[in-house]
Amino acid sequence: MARVDLDGNPIEPMKICIIGAGGFIGSHLCDKLMAETPHTVLAVDVYSDKIKHLLEPPPGQGGAHPWAGRIQFHRLNIKHDSRLEGLIKMSELTINLAAICTPADYNTRPLDTIYSNFVDAFPVVKYCSENTKRLIHFSTCEVYGKTIGSFLPKDHPLRQVLLRPVSHFFYILQIQKAGTRFCVLKEDASPCIFGPIEKQRWSYACAKQLIERLMYAEGAENGLDFTIVRPFNWIGPRMDFIPGIDGPCEGIPRVLACFSNNLLRREPLKLVDGGQSQRTFVYIKDAIEAVLLMIENPARANGQIFNVGNPNNEVTVKQLAEMMTEVYSKVSGEPLLKVHTIDVSSKEFYGEGYDDSDKRILDMTIINKQLGWSPKTLLWDLLESTLTYQHRTYAQAIRRTMVKPIAS
């Protein structure tokens, strides 16, 4: 049966250039495009480990994948490779995921962060605009920065209402009472509130915001067909790395991998500044459905900025740590530790210049209206499948490193 878009028109196979295809989101997007669509992918990255299963023939069967010939890997660094423009010209659509996007880098490698998120993304926008090609660019929810509520005095009654996570039903009622404009983040209405320049944490958000503004201006003045995606904490298998196993020993990945690493090594989870910040987590497989809708419904996605997340999965980082501890014990069969969390200061954990987003609740009006998308998976369920994957993938390797004799 012919595949049709949301307006009932047949979907033609297209060639898509995915920059950053070898990363966490890129690998899941490639999985989806290969398994469920007829599209062809030019996968651009400096790494290919996370999409190796798509590129190499299936082990032991002597055959080929059903998608063989529809995915081509191009190992290149977009900072300095003249092949990039050719790949964009060859494709109907470019999706740019390439970025330095781990908070531990924002304050310690601010120059690399700004170059990666603005300077290196700039030619991609230019090539798409000059060659009249569609662009889907990955920005971040961090462009909203901190909420207005976080600037209210600590004992202000409105702050108590705005910043306290409670059950979803009461939460909605309370937010409505307090006025959504103070804390729900809306693409076409909310301001972007960053900390001062010496808080270099905001180098990432600021670079992402400038590239968003550049695309918007290219759209307005030169007719660029762009879509901006603002992911709100997408998590799942293959996110980041486990330090000392498939990444540097001293590296600090995002919170899912940090906590997974602690659980795998049976050490307490570190709560930065008490783990009071709040996040909404969405399962990568739900979020990828939204990206596919954008790809296949250009008339509904062009010129739009989309928040993509799950407002029903809001927790403090401390609550996330507690839930992950419980879920991991269930999937691994290992008993709980007596002390399963410890507090660390952000200065100790991330160094000078760290700052944090206090709360990220997304408004979903635009994505509901344009694409009819909403997320399905509850936090417990997505943690259960993700931690099952982490345990299966890493537990043995961790055990081996922990029993290794020290070289004399």
Q: Which does 358 bind (CB under 5 to 8 A by kind): ligand NAD, ligand UDP, none?
A: none
| Residue 145 interacts with, from ligand UDP, ligand NAD, none (CB under 5-8 Å by kind) | none
Task: Tell me 11's DSSP state.
Answer: P
Q: Which of 79, 156, 164, 369 binds ligand NAD (CB under 6 A)?
A: 79
Residues 6 or more apart whose Cβ sits within 8 Å of residue 348:
none
Residue 307 interacts with ligand NAD (CB under 6 A): yes or no: no
Shortest CB 99 distance to ligand NAD, Å: 3
- Least separation in angstroms between residue 28's CB and ligand UDP is 17
- Amino acid in the structure at residue 318: K
The residue within the footprint of ligand UDP, chosen from 116, 203, 227, 233 (CB under 6 A), is 233
Tokens standing for residue 144: 């909203």
Confirm if 106 and 203 have CB atoms less than 8 A apart. Answer: yes
For position 353 contacting ligand UDP by CB under 6 A, the verdict is no
Distance of CA 52 to the CA centre of its chain: 20
**Residue 349 vs residues 241, 247, 256, 352, 355: alpha-carbon distances, Å:** 17, 18, 15, 9, 12
77 binds ligand NAD per the rule CB under 6 A: yes
Determine if 236 is a binding residue for ligand UDP (CB under 6 A): no
> Which of 37, 91, 116, 310 lies at the binding interface for ligand NAD (CB under 6 A)?
116
Residue 309 lies near ligand UDP (rule: CB under 6 A): no
Q: Which of 34, 41, 71, 78 binds ligand NAD (CB under 6 A)?
A: 78
CA distances from 290 to 144, 301, 308 (A): 20, 11, 8
**Distance from C-alpha of 44 to C-alpha of 193, rounded to nearest angstrom:** 33
- Residue pair 122/114 in contact (Cβ under 8 Å)? The answer is no
User: Of 225 and 240, which has the nearer Cβ to ligand UDP?
Assistant: 240
Residue 350 annotated among the catalytic residues of the structure: no
- Phi/psi region, residue 30 (left: phi>0; alpha: psi -120 to 50; beta: rest), is alpha
Helix (H) or strand (E) holding 42: strand 40-45
Using the rule CB under 6 A, is 207 a contact of ligand UDP? no
Least Cα distance to 20 among 138, 103, 119 occurs for: 138
Among 110, 231, 236, 253, binds ligand NAD (CB under 6 A): 231
Q: What is the footprint of ligand UDP within residues 128-167 (CB under 6 A)? A: 142
Residue 98 binding target from ligand UDP, ligand NAD, none, CB below 5 to 8 Å by type: ligand NAD
Instruction: Determine if 46 is a binding residue for ligand NAD (CB under 6 A).
Output: yes
Contact 71, 32 (CB under 8 A): no
| Binding-site member from 41, 98, 271, 371 for ligand NAD (CB under 6 A) | 98
Using CA atoms of 289, 365, 355, 286 in order, give the dihedral in degrees to the nearest 10: -20
Angle among Cα 158, 162, 164 to the nearest 5 degrees reads 115
Coarse DSSP helix, strand, coil percentages of the chain, rounded to the nearest 5 percent: 45, 15, 40
User: Considering only residues 145, 236, 237, 275, which one is a binding residue for ligand UDP as defined by CB under 6 A?
Assistant: 275
Quote the least distance from Cβ 103 to ligand UDP, whole Å: 4
The listed partner (ligand NAD, ligand UDP, none) that binds 47, CB under 5 to 8 Å by sort, is ligand NAD
Does the protein bind ligand UDP through residue 356 (CB under 6 A)? yes
Rounded CA separation 141/232 (Å): 5
Q: Nearer to ligand NAD by C-beta: 27 or 37?
A: 27
Residue nearest to ligand UDP (CB): 258
Least gap, CB of 286 to ligand UDP (angstroms): 17
Out of ligand NAD, ligand UDP, none, what residue 78 binds, judged by CB under 5 to 8 A for its kind, is ligand NAD
Q: How many residues does the chain have?
A: 408
Tokens at 156, concatenated: 């202000």
Query: Catalytic residues, which ones?
Result: 204
- Applying CB under 6 A, the residues found at the interface with ligand NAD are 20, 22-26, 45-47, 77-79, 97-99, 101, 116, 120, 138, 140-141, 231, 233-234
